[in-house]
Structure 1
């Protein structure tokens, strides 16, 4: 699905993958669940572009529902996988720490896990080789993604600012639809390592001139970064 010219959304509000499309090649932001590889190939077929036009994968963090088919693209096509340096071990299979038990409702939880199972969530391949990235890096990939370090959800979480499409991808630093409760609107994301750090990191988005703030789970936010942060702060009060 085209969000704006040069930006495609693959998947849905449960788990989303995004594709930056330029004449020179494409950049993937996150790789969702393993079964979403088929969704990617369908999207590329509709565009008339081969898998080989993907020049790199940028992971917002190392959780397995964001690394899903990264290793397949890396091992089969040699596509480099970039990740925040502090999350490299997580993407390569290190188990994340336990987090406080999040609130949940049965219906949304069942929908999330049913979707994950349909998309191969029982077998989540680790990435065997990664390219570490750090705050301030501008990656040599289509769209020239700018990396903003945002530790909190995980130590190596990043936001990925792509000025070419006036968007910033925030991974799980926040959500606009909680997969465990179904509550919509900007809010803290579940399964977060350090909620206080995640909250503080959001202020790094305040000065960005973007039209779209795009989480890994939930609808795209279209009202700008300052309004998103304000809505998040309201939701945080009741979290």
Structure 2
């Protein structure tokens, strides 16, 4: 789905990842579920770009519904995978602390689980070879992604600011559609390790200049990071 020049979404409001298409190459942010490999192939075909044009994949954190096709992309196309050092163990092993599920409604919960099964979420492969990044780092990838530390959902959660796309990609630092309740609108994401820390990290997001805020779950936000950060705080 094309959102704007150079900016494309793979997946949907349940689980999403993103493709930034620039003349010098392609940068991906997150890898959704394994079945989103087909979405990636279809988008590349629409753009007339080969898989070899992908220069790197940046993961906002190491949870399974964000790393879906990452290992396949690395093994088949030798694309480097980037993740914050604090989430490197999580992405390699899948180990994470247990967090309370919180509120849920049967319909949205079953829809989320069914979508995960349909997109082969039960077959997610952990990522064996990653390159670690740190807060403030600017990556040598198309669009010069800027890493913004957003700890809370996980220790190594990040936002990725790509000025060339006028967008900041936030993973699960916030959501615009709660996958367990179906509630829409800016709000904290479920399954967050440290909710208080996640809310505090919104201060860092609010300082970013961009016209798009793009979460891993929910509709894209067309507006300022400061406004969506304030809306999440108001609803937390």
- Establish whether TM, by shorter chain, passes 0.5: yes
Residue in 2 that maps onto 1:30:
30
Whole-Å separation in 2 of the counterparts to 1:66 and 1:94: 12
Whole-Å separation in 2 of the counterparts to 1:105 and 1:138: 40
Residue in 1 that maps onto 2:43:
43
Pairwise CA distance, 1:206: 1.4
Whole-Å separation in 2 of the counterparts to 1:209 and 1:138: 16
Give the RMSD, CA atoms, in angstroms: 0.7
How many aligned residue pairs are there?
Answer: 236
Alignment of 1:86-101 (within 5 A): 86-101=86-101
Secondary structure at 2:226's aligned position in 1?
helix
Unpaired segments ≥5 residues, structure 2: none
Pairwise CA distance, 1:95: 1.3
Whole-Å separation in 2 of the counterparts to 1:10 and 1:101: 26
Contact map agreement 2:63 2:94 (CA 8 A) in 1: no
Contact map agreement 2:14 2:218 (CA 8 A) in 1: yes
Q: Which moved more, 1:89-98 or 1:108-117?
A: 89-98
Residue in 2 that maps onto 1:71:
71
Alignment of 1:10-159 (within 5 A): 10-159=10-159
Runs of 4+ in structure 1 deviating by more than 3 angstroms, as ranges, are: none
TM-score by length of 2: 0.99
Q: Which moved more, 1:142-151 or 1:89-98?
A: 89-98
Whole-Å separation in 1 of the counterparts to 2:87 and 2:233: 26
TM-score by length of 1: 0.97
Whole-Å separation in 2 of the counterparts to 1:112 and 1:142: 32
Pairwise CA distance, 1:102: 1.2
Unpaired segments ≥5 residues, structure 1: none
Residue in 2 that maps onto 1:177:
177
